[in-house]
């Protein structure tokens, strides 16, 4: 994991959403787990909501990214335009290289 202010993934980097299922609540849509996308941008560094939810300080700050996914790769039989995409924000620990 990269330190705050030093995001690991640059815009244009292919990534995959991790599929692990830690105990407790986590903030990743199930339909995006295991899916490949491309980092659009580093949004900010933010306290970790998964530890804040348990009364901890949420530190260290985690990079947050907007990742873009091709709709046709997400939904079997998607009838929209080939260029249609979906964007979602992820904390860095939920992403891995997705070549």
pLDDT at 33 over 90: yes
For residues 46 and 61, the answer to whether their CB atoms sit within 8 Å is yes
Q: Which domains does the chain have, with CATH numbers?
A: 14-97 (2.30.30.50)
The pTM for the full model equals: 0.88
For residues 66 and 39, the answer to whether their CB atoms sit within 8 Å is yes
Kindly state the average pLDDT of the residues 65-87: 96
pLDDT tens profile 57-73:
989 999 999 999 999 99
pLDDT at 40 over 90: yes
pLDDT top residue among 1 and 68: 68
Phi, psi for residue 91 in degrees, rounded to 5: -75, 145
Using alpha carbons only, how large is the chain's radius of gyration in Å?
A: 14
pLDDT tens profile 13-22:
999 999 988 7
């Amino acid at each position: 994991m990269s330190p705050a202010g030093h995001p690991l993934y640059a815009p244009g980097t292919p990534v995959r959403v991790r599929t692990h299922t830690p105990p407790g609540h986590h903030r990743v849509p199930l339909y995006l787990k295991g899916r490949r996308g491309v980092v659009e941008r580093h949004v900010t560094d933010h306290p970790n909501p998964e530890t804040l939810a348990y009364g901890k300080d949420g530190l260290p700050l985690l990079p947050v990214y907007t990742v873009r996914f091709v709709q046709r790769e997400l939904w079997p039989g998607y009838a929209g335009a080939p260029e249609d995409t979906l964007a979602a924000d992820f904390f860095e620990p939920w992403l891995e290289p997705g070549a």
